[in-house]
Structure 1
Amino acid sequence: MPDRMIHVLDSASLFQEACLKLTEDKILAVDCEGLNLGRNGTLDIISVFSTSRLELFLFDITSVGSQGFDNGLRDLFENPLITKLMFDCRQDTDALYHIFGVNIDGLVDVQLMDVFHSLNKQPKDRLPARSAPNYWSEVDKSITRVRGLGACIQTILGNEDVQTEKRNVQVMMQSQPQNIWCIRPLPKTLADYCLEDVKYLFDLYYMYMSYGVCIEKVKSASIRYRDYIKAIPKTDNISKFVCGHNLLPHNILEVEPYLGQGTQCKGCFKRFNAREFKKDLGSSKRFCRVCRKLDSRPKSNHRHRPCNGS
């Protein structure tokens, strides 16, 4: 994509002008970048890609701040009639909501489309009875893993180069002592990285649709994914149990009837029926199956997003 098709917007008036253009689109691709992205970090750049124009709009939140949302971004993101494609929206939407009070609507999480596609290929087995000797081992096997964007691009679109390109930039980000996303002018390397994170989402979206993924199920699941971290009280710290890991949380693909009441998990803060826990209801390690899996991993195996990016 030529440089002229990448627009860095660093004033409220430019925000307003770009948002007016983007409201003409029916589908946009969105991604956020920042240091320790989420409520306790920063949100420095928002990437919005328009396939109808083949243009990338980089909204400079570091320079414009909350005024940018009052000049079009809030209305754009909260418009339910415009579909926003995101990939693993958890930390992005947590930052948007807790820092700027923006509740993104019209959301389709492409990572969840990949999960639905994978599960369609291998039907889910029913768990054995709770009294069965192999019950807990089957529970652990039932945990779904989510894939990263690079892996999806590689396997679904056949692009072998994206993984390496993304990894190189992520290594560079992690090696920097400062927040590189607030460097101005924004380095071309980072602008290109932003482009890589959004330009393939449309192709992935249409490929998963062609594979028969039910878009209505994805939209409902995407809202639950959006609210997964966002619903945790703002005063709580966000831990390894709720962000940056590669396990699908509970109650995302479908509403589980026993969730939302009973005993609170010490990892993700969600409430479950007592049958979700082993025999540790009285211990400090009162974990649901996903958090129990995360807790059992060696520290070196915890998969977190780069500290300088999303």
Structure 2
Amino acid sequence: MASDPPPPHQTAIPLPPASGDQPLHLVHRTRIPIPPAAVTEAGGDLPDDTDQSSLVPIHIVDDASQLPHEFLNPSADKKLVIGFDCEGVDLCRNGALCVMQLAFPDAVYLVDAIKGGEALMQACKPALESSYITKVIHDCKRDSEALYFQFGIRLHNVMDTQIAYSLIEEQEGKKRAPDDYISFVGLLADPRYCGVSYLEKQTVRVLLREDPKFWTYRPMTEMMIRAATDDVRFLLYIYHKLMEKLNEKSLWQLSVRGSLYCRCFCINDNDYADWPPLPSLPESLVAEGYVPVEEILSVLHVPPGKMGRIIGRGGASITSVKECCNCEILIGGSKGPPDKVFIIGPVKEVRKAEAILRGKMLYI
């Protein structure tokens, strides 16, 4: 009689290190983290979670030698698409980045930024900045900010599933209300893209409220490992489902908006001159005579005491601006920067929003 498959997240024997003086890393196993590329590309179903073959290792990484060679050495000959996310303490420029998750088709790597420190994160920098590795992430803004200010990493070539979802809605002629962004839990639950319930996410949110230092504890607990893995394990499957629906125009808009969102909160003194240029229009769209609407990121400085006028009672003022301007308007808020408003969208709409917001600051 065949033995039952091991329970999810069973801790296996530590793998041997690459050399005698390098640390061991634990390997955990979980069911159906990432559907095989062949299944997702064919639009197939998620693997049966009772199938022994669906068990995929989870590597806890505190040394660069434990990461795949093709990740550490990006190459045009070996382009990659990986699921990506970060966890930390109130993650932003000042909130410590503790764990970085990388989901490959055959494994999940939990990069321990606390134990591995600066050396490990700098080893990951070429991959995170590479155009040869597509990073699939849901809402890249604060993750990018933390990487930039804490490690000098300019996150590049992201496929933001939140942006992709909105673009598909636009393709289908649907309109969304201001701030009506699809949550990651909502995207997972959507049967068109995954159809998976993520009930444990709420448990993790409660734990984070009760103990904001949840992600700092070492060794990582089973709950931490499971929560970190759950945030990336379906991203490659969702990626393929979204890509099936995006037309060429939307794909270009996705790359531009992803670039703008990555640099959004990473404000510096040189107007983002140290960031990669925005993606150019594909030749195929040029040949079709498509005239793109240029999209930009504008950062509006708000003098002391004026932010309340920008936001308004219960957010009414800024909501009204969002409703009349076809652009995204973001506030630094408690994570910062607290005196800035970030506006992303077509040039004409961004300038319109700027004028309205400046007018509100002048109002007495």
TM over 0.5: yes
The residue aligned with 1:186 is 220
Provide the residue aligned with 2:108 in structure 1.
56
Q: 1:16 to 1:216 in 2, by over 3 A?
A: farther
Which letter maps to 2:265?
I
**Map of 1:92-103 to 2, 5 A cutoff?**
92-103=143-154
Instruction: Find the counterpart in structure 2 of residue 255 from structure 1.
Output: 346
Shift of 1:108: 1.2
Q: Which amino acid aligns with 2:333?
A: S
- What is the CA deviation profile of residues 220-247 of structure 1, one whole-angstrom value per residue up to 9, with x for unaligned ones? 11011111111267xx99415979xxxx
Greater C-alpha Rg: 2
The alpha-carbon distance between structure 1 residues 83 and 212, as it changes in their structure 2 partners (threshold 3 A), is same
CA deviation string 1:6-34 (max 9, x = no partner): 11112xxx324404243555101110000
Query: Aligned pair in 2 of structure 1 residues 186, 216: CA closer, same or farther (>3 Å)?
Result: same
Residues of 2 paired with 1:146 and 1:187: CA distance? 31
Shift in CA distance, 241/20, structure 1 to aligned 2, threshold 3 Å = closer
Structure 1 residue aligned with 2:267: 231
1:171-250 to 2 correspondences below 5 Å? 171-176=206-211, 178-213=212-247, 214-231=250-267, 238-239=332-333, 250=343
User: Which of 20, 28, 43 is the matching residue for 2:69?
Assistant: 20
Residues 25 and 184 of structure 1: CA distance in aligned 2, closer, same or farther (over 3 Å)? farther
Distance 1:144 1:34 in 2: 24
Aligned residue among 185, 192, 200 for 1:165 = 200
CA contact (8 A) 1:25 1:50 kept: no
Unaligned ranges ≥5, structure 1: 125-140, 244-248, 263-271, 285-310
Q: 1:191 to 1:241 in 2, by over 3 A?
A: closer
Contact 2:92 2:335 (8 Å CA) reproduced: no
Farther-moved stretch of structure 1 (189-198 vs 21-30): 21-30
Give distance in 2, aligned partners of 1:281 and 1:184: 47
Match in the other structure for 1:38:
92
Residues 239 and 281 from structure 1, CA distance in 2 versus in 1: closer, same or farther, beyond 3 angstroms?
Answer: closer
| Matched residue SS, 2:89 | coil
User: Residues of 1 paired with 2:172 and 2:94: CA distance?
Assistant: 38
Match of 1:154 in 2: 189
Equivalenced residue count is 241
2: CA distance, partners of 1:110 / 1:116:
10
Q: CA deviation at 1:188?
A: 1.2
CA shift, 1:120, in A, is 1.9
Q: CA 1:204–1:66 in 2, change beyond 3 Å: closer, same or farther?
A: same
**8 Å Cα contact 1:19-1:73 kept in structure 2:** no
User: Which structure ranks higher in relative contact order (CA pairs < 8 Å, sequence separation ≥ 6)?
Assistant: 1
TM-score by length of 1: 0.69
Instruction: Name the stretch that deviates more: 93-102 or 178-187.
Output: 178-187
- Taking the aligned partners of 2:261 and 2:88, their CA distance within structure 1 comes to 20
* Residue of structure 1 equivalent to 2:316: none
Match of 1:307 in 2: none
> d(CA) in 2 for partners of 1:250 and 1:241?
17
The whole-number CA distance in structure 2 between the counterparts of 1:21 and 1:118 is 35
- 2:362 aligned residue: 282
Displacement of 1:212 = 2.8
Matched, 1:8 2:88: no
- In structure 2, what residue type is equivalent to 1:20? H
Shift, 1:257, TM fit: 3.2
Among all aligned residue pairs of Structure 1 and Structure 2, give the percentage whose two residues are the same amino acid: 19
SS in 1 for 2:135: strand
Deviations 1:71-108 (A, max 9, x none): x2011111111111111011100000011100011111
The residue correspondences of 1:122-141 to structure 2 (distance < 5 A) are 122=173
Q: RMSD between aligned alpha carbons? A: 2.9
Relative to structure 1, is the Cα distance of residues 19 and 73 closer, same or farther in structure 2, using a 3 angstrom cutoff? farther
Secondary structure of 2:139's partner? coil
Secondary structure, counterpart of 1:44 in structure 2: strand
